[in-house]
Each structure stands twice: as structure tokens, then as C-alpha cells.
């Protein structure tokens, strides 16, 4: 036996290719045996005598699926494509949960139905309910929405909506996701939901003004009932309360949860607690939420919750629900070519993307860009693809500071931000993306000192150049925009030559953060600025302050000093 093994060893040493070929065949044979052992029965087809689905009754339509028998081992419970599903799904089917489902794509069904094969698995964890009409001015699903024109998938939309406690998730135009608690439109033909998902071409994500809608089975009812309502403050009862807050209900066992839940189901963005009465509505000129009262005036205990305040008949405790205020969400290109080119100019990191978001909501028109940023286009800034001289956008984002570039614009909104904050924001964007963060190694390495040395002088020259060469410049400080958004946005819209009603601007206040605001949760544990950096930046601040005052403008805000 030993001699035989020795001869084989010498043989394969001379001819290693044959050795590896035999080894591969051996492993392949072993894999087939292992896979075969995973089955203990034959596949069955619904409708046949052996199929468990044949006895399910007429409640569910036959969709041409083939079911694996229960004998398929644990591997059979993994969804096709190894798709992950969060804990927010609940299995409502009475059938055993270890049975995968597959669609027969050879039938006469449309491509829209075939594209949903991956979604109708998983025992109705997210159940597709149909194709529905949609309207940009009156949305079918009126909760949160977000866009991704590159990576949108059905699961991503479902996951985001379910995470926020919504009942329905709808996809439109291949890249737009809408959430809501109620469907407020009619059914459309399935053939009209015919657009592939941008990030998953095997599935369908609605169509033009058509939503592919899924019902989400939430694991926790509390996620839907209360979710992430935002406390807005204590406010005096408006004079025409039945007009300002048109929907109300008497709740003897009042609690914050119950009132927020009620207004959410009624599709209102505001829930106002007035003792034993819950009122719902929108921010409006009758109830603008600009004059907050002392919270002690609303400190009346709730009947159902000992440690919660429920306001009173005269002083209302107001929360913002998860319902999205759609009065300012419609956006489009200008109907005719703009006569003037208006710049939205800023130093990088000064909040230009956020300002674009606010302007688009306030005016209803897309903003353009001197550059092209694919990530911004994919997130919904559709003017990003247009040439900056196209005249189809309300204003043009630019970071340019040369005389020739500045003089090519007829007017400008110049956004200025505290240089200490702007430099850190741009450094985070450069190394972490638009809403990401730079790594600790970047702050401690050579990248940060080199960045400050190159960018700090640019912060000053950018402002000085626009003040010197700009034809008609409106200066807006980022800090003032955050502090008094309504007033500053009115100034910006007036320069753009657009008439925006107050209700629309109040709507913007409720949607002001958008998708391009850093969470702020990740704070540096040290000051990245050295004494030498602070001394240099302080000199630049004084230079800009003097230049602003020389043109009879207010200087830089006080919080630029001291550092």
C-alpha cells in the first residue's frame, strides 16, 4: 500500500495538472451530494393534488408560483438574492414560514408583475397591493419621501418607510420613494407601472405619475402609533381655531401618543394638545408657530399619562407628526427661459446644498449648478444635469471666485458661514461625502493642516471677490438663515423674482432639514485648530468684516468671535 501511494505521489508531482483536475472533480461530487441531501421531497406545483397551496381557497389569486416542499432545510428560508429583511416585518400567513416561493415567468403576465417576483416571496412580509395614480400637487402617499436616481430598490424603500412607522411604501419613476399611512388615489392599470428600479433592474418601481405600492406589516404597533414626532413648543390658541386647526376630537383619556396617532392617521403634519381636545392642521398664517410661549403655561397633566403635559384650552402643546407637508414639495423647471442668471455663491462647506433645498421648496423650481455632482442628482436635484446657462433653473450653485466667472452672472445670493465651521464641514465632505464625516486619522494626519493652509485664505478671497465684482449681491449669513429661516428665505426669494405665498414658506420651515444635513451626533473630542491656525483665521475674519461694513452691510455675526 505504501509503495502504491509513493508511486501516485511521484506521478502527480510530474503531472500536477491532472492532480488538480481530480481534486476539483472530487470537490464537485461532494458538493452535489451535500446539496442533494438538503431535499427530502420533490417540488410541487400549486393546483396539483400534492400542493398545500391548492387548499388555500379563492382568497388569493393564482400568480403562477412554484413552492418547494417543507423538507427543504434551513437554507431554503433565505430569500432569493440573500435579501435581508428587518425586524419590522411580521409573518401574517398561516402557512409554515420555511417555504420559499418562486414565480413562473413564462406566463402572459406583464413585465411589471414579473418584476415583483422577489417581493411576493417572504409570506406577505411586505405585500404588493397594486399600481396607483399619483399627482405632484396632491400626493397619493403623504408621508416622508426621498429620491435616489442611481441606487433605488424596492427593499430600500420598504425599509426606510417601515423604519419610520409607516403602513405603506410606494415607488415611482424608478427612483422615488413615498411613505404614508393612507392611500388617497385610484388604482391604475398594472401596465402603467412599467419602470425598472434604478438600483435593481429585475424589479419594477412604478412609472410616470404611477406608484407601485406595498403594505408593510409592522412588528411593533407602537412604531406606527407614535414614531418620531417632533416637539414644536407651547403656543397660544389661535383666534380662528376651527380654521387654523380644522380637525379635532375629544379625548377624555388624552396622551401625546393618542393625539399624534390621531393626527397622523388623518394625514396632518401638526398635532396640538388642548387639554382633553386633540386638534390637527398645518402651519399657516393663522397659526405660524413663530411666537412660542413659556412651556409652563402648557404644563397641565394628561389624563392618561401622569408624567406628560397636554396643554389647555388657551395654550396648545404642539408636535410635528411624521406626515409630510406636501404644499411645498412640487418642483419643476422654469416654464420659459430665465432672463437673468442668478448665482447662489458660497465658499465650500457654507451650506450651499442646504440653501438649494430651501429655495427649491420655497419657489417650486429646480436649482442648477456650475458643476455636475452625480450624487446630488441621484438625490433629487434634477437641475444638476442642466448646463448652468440653460436658463431652466431658478439659480445656479457656484463656488467660483474669479472676476470673469463672477461677472458672467447678473445677480447673486452670497452665502457666508463662520470659517471655523465651514472649513470643518468641507473637510468632512471631502473625506466623508455630503453627509458623512472624515476619519479620525485624517484630522490627526497631515491632511488637516494642509487643508487649512490652502482653504482658509480662499474663504476670505471668495467673499471679497464677490463683493468687488458682483453686480447685484444679496449677502445672507448661514447663521442668520438657521436662526430666522422665514425672514431670510423671504429676502432670497424676493431677489429671485418669485412670489412665494406665506403658507408655502411655512411649509418649508417644517421640511427645512431635507436629506443633506449632517446628524451632528459625531463630535470631535478635541479642537482641531492650533493657536497658529486661529490667529490666521481671525485675521481673515476681520478683513471680511471690514469689507462688509465698508459697503454699508452688517458685519459678520458675533459668534465668529472670539475663537
The answer to whether residues 94 and 62 touch, using CB atoms and an 8 Å cutoff, is: no
Domain boundary (198, 216, 234) is at: 216
Q: Are residues 229 and 200 in the same domain?
A: no
Q: Assess whether pLDDT exceeds 90 at residue 174.
A: yes
- 77: its cell numbers: 428560508
Q: Are residues 178 and 241 in the same domain?
A: no
**Alpha carbon distances (Å) from 390 to 103, 333, 458:** 47, 11, 28
Query: Which single residue is written with the C-alpha cell 406595498?
Result: 214
The answer to whether residues 475 and 553 touch, using CB atoms and an 8 Å cutoff, is: yes
Q: Please give the Cα distance from 87 to 230 (Å, whole number).
A: 24
Taken in order 337, 339, 345, 351, is the CA torsion positive or negative?
A: negative
- 96: its cell numbers: 409554515
Q: Are residues 314 and 385 in the same domain?
A: no
Query: Which single residue is written with the C-alpha cell 423647471?
Result: 333
Strands 396-398 and 342-346: parallel
Instruction: Please state which of the ranges 157-161, 337-341, 404-408, 479-483 shows the lowest mean pLDDT.
Output: 157-161
pLDDT at 146 (0 to 100): 85
> Which DSSP letter does residue 25 get?
H
Q: Are residues 291 and 144 in the same domain?
A: no
Alpha helices by DSSP H, listed for 69-129, are 111-114
Domain boundary (216, 236, 263) is at: 216
Q: Assess whether pLDDT exceeds 90 at residue 477.
A: yes
Q: Please give the Cα distance from 292 to 236 (Å, whole number).
A: 8
Q: Are residues 409 and 484 in the same domain?
A: yes
Strands 101-103 and 65-67: antiparallel
pLDDT at 83 (0 to 100): 32
pLDDT band, residue 31 (cuts 50/70/90): low
Q: Are residues 150 and 278 in the same domain?
A: no
Cis peptide before 222 (omega within 30 of 0): no
Q: Are residues 198 and 262 in the same domain?
A: no
pLDDT band, residue 132 (cuts 50/70/90): very high
- 98: its cell numbers: 420555511
Whether residue 84 lies inside any domain: the answer is no
Q: Please give the Cα distance from 69 to 498 (Å, whole number).
A: 64
Cα maximum dimension of the chain:
105
Whether residue 198 lies inside any domain: the answer is yes
The answer to whether residues 215 and 129 touch, using CB atoms and an 8 Å cutoff, is: yes
Q: Is 422 helix (H, G, I), strand (E, B) or coil?
A: helix
Name the residue among 180, 126, 194 with its Cα closest to residue 156: 126
Q: Please give the Cα distance from 507 to 144 (Å, whole number).
A: 14
The answer to whether residues 212 and 195 touch, using CB atoms and an 8 Å cutoff, is: no
Q: Of the spans 107-116, 136-145, 149-158, 470-479, which averages the highest pLDDT?
A: 470-479
Arithmetic mean of pLDDT, 321-340: 89
Q: Please give the Cα distance from 515 to 513 (Å, whole number).
A: 7
Instruction: Please state which of the ranges 42-46, 298-302, 501-505 shows the lowest mean pLDDT.
Output: 42-46
Whether residue 44 lies inside any domain: the answer is no
Strands 342-346 and 277-281: unpaired
Strands 342-346 and 315-320: unpaired
Domain boundary (154, 189, 216) is at: 216
Whether residue 543 lies inside any domain: the answer is yes
Whether residue 419 lies inside any domain: the answer is yes
- 386: its cell numbers: 442642466
Q: Are residues 553 and 408 in the same domain?
A: yes
How many domains does the chain divide into? Answer: 3
Find the length of the chain. 563
Arithmetic mean of pLDDT, 186-215: 92
Tell me the CATH number at 523: 3.40.50.300
Q: Please give the Cα distance from 467 to 475 (Å, whole number).
A: 9
Q: Are residues 525 and 441 in the same domain?
A: yes
Q: Are residues 368 and 437 in the same domain?
A: yes
Q: In what order do the strands lie in the sheet with 247-250?
A: 230-236, 315-320, 270-274, 277-281, 247-250
Q: Kindly report the average pLDDT of the chain as a whole number.
A: 79
Whether residue 146 lies inside any domain: the answer is yes
Please give the backbone phi and psi of residue 292, each rounded to the nearest 5 degrees, phi first.
-80, 145
Whether residue 420 lies inside any domain: the answer is yes
Arithmetic mean of pLDDT, 193-200: 92
The answer to whether residues 272 and 245 touch, using CB atoms and an 8 Å cutoff, is: yes
Alpha helices by DSSP H, listed for 40-104, are none
Q: Assess whether pLDDT exceeds 50 at residue 316.
A: yes
Alpha helices by DSSP H, listed for 326-446, are 352-363, 374-378, 403-407, 419-432, 440-444
Start-to-end Cα distance in the chain: 85
Name the residue among 111, 98, 86 with its Cα closest to residue 165: 86
Q: Are residues 538 and 428 in the same domain?
A: yes
Q: Assess whether pLDDT exceeds 90 at residue 472.
A: yes
pLDDT at 3 (0 to 100): 64
- 293: its cell numbers: 410661549
Whether residue 327 lies inside any domain: the answer is no
Name the residue among 486, 490, 459, 491 with its Cα closest to residue 474: 491
Q: Are residues 189 and 314 in the same domain?
A: no
Alpha carbon 147 to chain centroid distance?
A: 7
Task: Calculate Rg over the CA atoms of the chain.
Answer: 30
pLDDT at 427 (0 to 100): 92
The whole domain housing 242 covers 225-320
Report the percentage of the chain scoring pLDDT > 70: 74
Query: Each residue of 427-464: b (16+ CB within 10 Å) or e?
Result: bbbbbeeeeebbeeebbeeebbeebbeebbebbbbbbb
Other beta carbons within 10 angstroms of residue 421's beta carbon come to 16
Amino acid at each position: 500500500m505504501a509503495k502504491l501511494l509513493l508511486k501516485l505521489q511521484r506521478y502527480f508531482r510530474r503531472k500536477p495538472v491532472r492532480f488538480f483536475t481530480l481534486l476539483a472533480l472530487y470537490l464537485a461530487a461532494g458538493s452535489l451530494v451535500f446539496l442533494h441531501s438538503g431535499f427530502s421531497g420533490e417540488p410541487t406545483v400549486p393546483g396539483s393534488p400534492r400542493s398545500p397551496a391548492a387548499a388555500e381557497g379563492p382568497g388569493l389569486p393564482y400568480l403562477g408560483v412554484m413552492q418547494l416542499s417543507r423538507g427543504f432545510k434551513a437554507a431554503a428560508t433565505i430569500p432569493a438574492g440573500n435579501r435581508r429583511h428587518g425586524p419590522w416585518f411580521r409573518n401574517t400567513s398561516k402557512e409554515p414560514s420555511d417555504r420559499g416561493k418562486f414565480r413562473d415567468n413564462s406566463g402572459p403576465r406583464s413585465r411589471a408583475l414579473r418584476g415583483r417576483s422577489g417581493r411576493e416571496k417572504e409570506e406577505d412580509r411586505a405585500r404588493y397591493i397594486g399600481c396607483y395614480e399619483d399627482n405632484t400637487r396632491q400626493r397619493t402617499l403623504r408621508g416622508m419621501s426621498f429620491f435616489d436616481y442611481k441606487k433605488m430598490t424596492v427593499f430600500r424603500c420598504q425599509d426606510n418607510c417601515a423604519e419610520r412607522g409607516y403602513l405603506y411604501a410606494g415607488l415611482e419613476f424608478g427612483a422615488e420613494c413615498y411613505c404614508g399611512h393612507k392611500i388617497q388615489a385610484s388604482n391604475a392599470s398594472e401596465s402603467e407601472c412599467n419602470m425598472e428600479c434604478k438600483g435593481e433592474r429585475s424589479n419594477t418601481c412604478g412609472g410616470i405619475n404611477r406608484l407601485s405600492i406595498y403594505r408593510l406589516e409592522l412588528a411593533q404597533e407602537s412604531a406606527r402609533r407614535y414614531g418620531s414626532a417632533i416637539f414644536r413648543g407651547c403656543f397660544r390658541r389661535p383666534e380662528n381655531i376651527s380654521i387654523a386647526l380644522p380637525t379635532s376630537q375629544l379625548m377624555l383619556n388624552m396622551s401625546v401618543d393618542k393625539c399624534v396617532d390621531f393626527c397622523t392617521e388623518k394625514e396632518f403634519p401638526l398635532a396640538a394638545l388642548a387639554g382633553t381636545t386633540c386638534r390637527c392642521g398645518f402651519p399657516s398664517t393663522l397659526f405660524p408657530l413663530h411666537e412660542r410661549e413659556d412651556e409652563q403655561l402648557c404644563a397641565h397633566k394628561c389624563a392618561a399619562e401622569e408624567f406628560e403635559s397636554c396643554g389647555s384650552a388657551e395654550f396648545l402643546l404642539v408636535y410635528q407628526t411624521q406626515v409630510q407637508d406636501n404644499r411645498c414639495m412640487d418642483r419643476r423647471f422654469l416654464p420659459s427661459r430665465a432672463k437673468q442668471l442668478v448665482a447662489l455663491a458660497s465658499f465650500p462647506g457654507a451650506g450651499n446644498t442646504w440653501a438649494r433645498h430651501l429655495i427649491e421648496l420655497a419657489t417650486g423650481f429646480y436649482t442648477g449648478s456650475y458643476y455636475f455632482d452625480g450624487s446630488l442628482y441621484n438625490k433629487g436635484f434634477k437641475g444638476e444635469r442642466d448646463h448652468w446657462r440653460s436658463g431652466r433653473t431658478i439659480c445656479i450653485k457656484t463656488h467660483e471666485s474669479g472676476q470673469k466667472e463672477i461677472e458672467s452672472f447678473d445677480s447673486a445670493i452670497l452665502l457666508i458661514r463662520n470659517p471655523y465651521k465651514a472649513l470643518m464641514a468641507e473637510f468632512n465632505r471631502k473625506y466623508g461625502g455630503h453627509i458623512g464625516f472624515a476619519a479620525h486619522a485624517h484630522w490627526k494626519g497631515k491632511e488637516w493642516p494642509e487643508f487649512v493652509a490652502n482653504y482658509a485664505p480662499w474663504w476670505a478671497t471668495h467673499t471679497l471677490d464677490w463683493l468687488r465684482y458682483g453686480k447685484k449681491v444679496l449677502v445672507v449669513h448661514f447663521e442668520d438663515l438657521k436662526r430666522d429661516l422665514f425672514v431670510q428665505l423671504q429676502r432670497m426669494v424676493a431677489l429671485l423674482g418669485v412670489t412665494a405665498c406665506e403658507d408655502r414658506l411655512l411649509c418649508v420651515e417644517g421640511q427645512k432639514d431635507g436629506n443633506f444635513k449632517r446628524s451632528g451626533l459625531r463630535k470631535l473630542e478635541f479642537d482641531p485648530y492650533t493657536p497658529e491656525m486661529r490667529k490666521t483665521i481671525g485675521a481673515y475674519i476681520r478683513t471680511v468684516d471690514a469689507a462688509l461694513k465698508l459697503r454699508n452691510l452688517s458685519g459678520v455675526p458675533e459668534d465668529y468671535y472670539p475663537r
